[in-house]
Amino acid sequence: MTFPDGFVWGAATAAYQIEGAVTADGRGTSIWDTFSHTPGAVAGGDTGDVACEHYARMPADVTLLPELGLDAYRFSVAWPRIVPTGSGSVNRAGLDFYSRLVDELLGHGVSPYVTLYHWDLPQPLEDAGGWTARDTVSRFAEFADVVARELGDRVATVTTLNEPWCSAFLGYGSGEHAPGRTDPAAALRAAHHLLLAHGEAVAVLRDTLPAAAKVSLTLNPHVIRPFTDTAADREACRRADARTNRLFLDAVFRGTYPEDLIQDTASLTDWAFVRDGDLELISAPLDLLGVNYYQPVWMSAAPADGAGELWAGHDDVYLRTHPGPKTGMGWQIEPAGLTELLGRLHKEYTGDVPMMITENGASFDDVLAGGEVDDHERAAFLTEHIAAVGDALDAGVDVRGYFAWSLLDNFEWAWGYAKRFGIVHVDYATQARTVKRSGLALRDLIAASRPGG
Ligand code: FCB
């Protein structure tokens, strides 16, 4: 596989999943601190209190990136480190941490890709309504401005949000994620406010960032397939596609919400929270769309035998188990789904806007033995998905980079430390890092994929 000149190879993480040090240097509390400390919310009662101790070990962790031959590192900024109460005064020590991180990266020839929001809303903002409150949008724009002023001169790309579908529908719909609310109407309202926060932040970033810096958004559009080829299952997929995919994509790339979505959700909301001018802000041009892909999903209407589980935010769409190979999360392994997804996005939405894979990876039950982790399944997963990106490039889709999820094993949200996604193993008892076989395979693949490599 040869990739175009300048194709960016990276690895990704997120603040709450790796940093720990949750009370250090004036950090405030986020919804994930509260949620993870709520009994029963996270597997094993795990929390991000310690995580990978990345806050203290950052310089050493950065050295892993050049060791793996990576060009870029995608990380997120913890909002409660920067604005501990979500509004008002800025915490200098928090900014300093990310400023040092950026300098470390640049010192190692690694390009920083900053995500502003990877799910750690300051708890005081949640107490005031969280993403269901329009006021949170303005707080986010202020936070974006502070970060852009501090780091903007040194970063390649600033991404506003990571996977707003998860924030809205897992956070406020199914309650699997923080803040753990289960109100489908609130999820729709949250989705709009997240998109508006993205739009307002784009305006702020355009004002603040140097012209060379790129502005992006990372979505996790799903490949959704009917469980059976019946009208009822196809209709379930249409509804799921509206709420999971087109809500976000139509708003960002077309400046509208889909008609069928408005009709499907009429019993939940009249969408009066959408005000004049909102969609114009939300659809401001982007330099790049980040795409996170893990698996395709199969959906059905209510199954007679009670199989499947309700799809987040719906009361009439079910996620079904499909035969075939799965990861340690039980997620379907299907690299071709990534090619299909990129093709759809390119054809229906992105036009001239390039894409990057900002997350792709897999959890497996790794074993550390004799100082090595022989995770050949993950190595194969990454290799096959990178080949699927190559297929999309061959088909004329403009993809500029690929980031593996994740650099390190880390706090996998509701699954805690039970699920490992890293290309580098973390021994949580000693905090020792061990590059896995998949990390080495990725390093070799990258070297061979460079033109002339
Ligand atoms: C994505 C998240 C990321 C990680 C992976 C496995 O949805 O963005 O933080 O948890 O899933």
Q: What is the mean pLDDT of each run of 10 residues along the chain (453 residues)?
A: 94 99 98 98 98 99 98 98 97 98 98 98 98 98 98 96 98 98 98 99 97 97 98 98 98 98 98 98 98 98 93 95 97 98 98 98 98 98 98 98 99 98 98 98 97 78
CA distance linking residue 70 with residue 75, whole number of Å = 14
Tokens linked to 415:
């699954």
Peptide bond into 179 cis (omega under 30): yes
Mutate to test the pocket of ligand 1, among 412, 417, 420, 423 (most ligand atoms within 8 A of CB): 412
In this structure, what are the phi and psi dihedrals at residue 254, rounded to the nearest 5 degrees? -125, -10
CA distance linking residue 146 with residue 73, whole number of Å = 21
Coil/strand/helix, residue 166: helix
Minimum-distance ligand 1 atom for the alpha carbon of 14: 9
Q: Does ligand 1 lie within 6 Å of residue 359's CB atom?
A: yes
* pLDDT value for 330: 97
Residues in the chain: 453
Residue located nearest, by CA, to atom 10 of ligand 1: 412
Comparing CA positions, the residue from 132, 80, 66, 75 lying closest to residue 102 is 75
Contact 11, 73 (CB under 8 A): yes
Provide the whole-model pTM. Answer: 0.98
CA-to-CA separations, 177 to 14, 168, 172, 240, 399, in angstroms, rounded: 15, 9, 8, 19, 30
Minimum-distance ligand 1 atom for the alpha carbon of 412: 10
Residue located nearest, by CA, to atom 4 of ligand 1: 412
Would you please indicate which residues are annotated as catalytic (active-site) residues?
A: 163, 359
* pLDDT value for 453: 72
Those residues with Cβ within 8 angstroms of residue 303's Cβ, 6 or more apart along the chain or in another chain: 318, 320
What per-residue string of b and e applies to 293-331 under the rule 16 or more CB within 10 Å gives b? bbbbbbbbbeeeeeebeebbbbeebbbbeeeeeebbeee
CA distance linking residue 433 with residue 108, whole number of Å = 19
